[in-house]
Amino acid sequence: MEFLEAHIDPSEKILDLGVENPFSVIMRNHNFNVDNTSGEDLDLHTEAVQTSTYNVVTAFEIFEHLVAPYNVLANIKAKKLVATVPLKLWFSSAYRSKTDMRDRHFHEFEDWQFDWLLEKAGWTIKSRKKWTNPVNKLGLRPVLRYFTPRYYAIYAERT
């Protein structure tokens, strides 16, 4: 929320990619004007982002699920983008739910890969932030999670 509030004015109209989720509710509780996409497969239906009625598109943990995130990024009509993606960890393989076909990561990006994807799609990154995801478990991987950034956030504007 701090990252979003630092870059986006609550008066701006936001299209949050994906179905309504707990963070959509948090944004509304912080007086942001947020609509969600209806949950269509964005790899097949980019028309959801082709509307010019929104100033901002947010995509929190969405692009890693898409086979072709470039197509969505290139078709966004809003002038501002706030997005987060999980970073690729050298000590852990990509996430894959065995029971939910939609809950799988096709991509887990290195920061430079996501930056390049955004640049190719016509975005200029204005701000970045990384953070860790510590877990309260024993073992080598849980210790590494205390020090290794797991998530990457960007604020970008259309060039």
Domains and CATH numbers, the chain: 2-158 (3.40.50.150)
Residue 115's pLDDT is what? 98
Q: What is the pTM of this model?
A: 0.88
- In 17-148, the DSSP E strands lie at 33-36, 56-60, 80-86, 123-131
Dump the DSSP string for 10-40: TTSEEEESSS--HHHHHHHHTT-EEEE----
For residue 129 the two structure tokens come to: 């932030």
pLDDT tens for the chain, 159 residues long, are 999 999 999 999 999 998 899 999 999 999 999 999 987 888 888 888 998 899 999 999 889 888 899 999 999 999 999 999 988 865 566 666 677 666 655 678 889 999 999 999 999 999 999 988 777 888 876 677 677 788 899 999 997
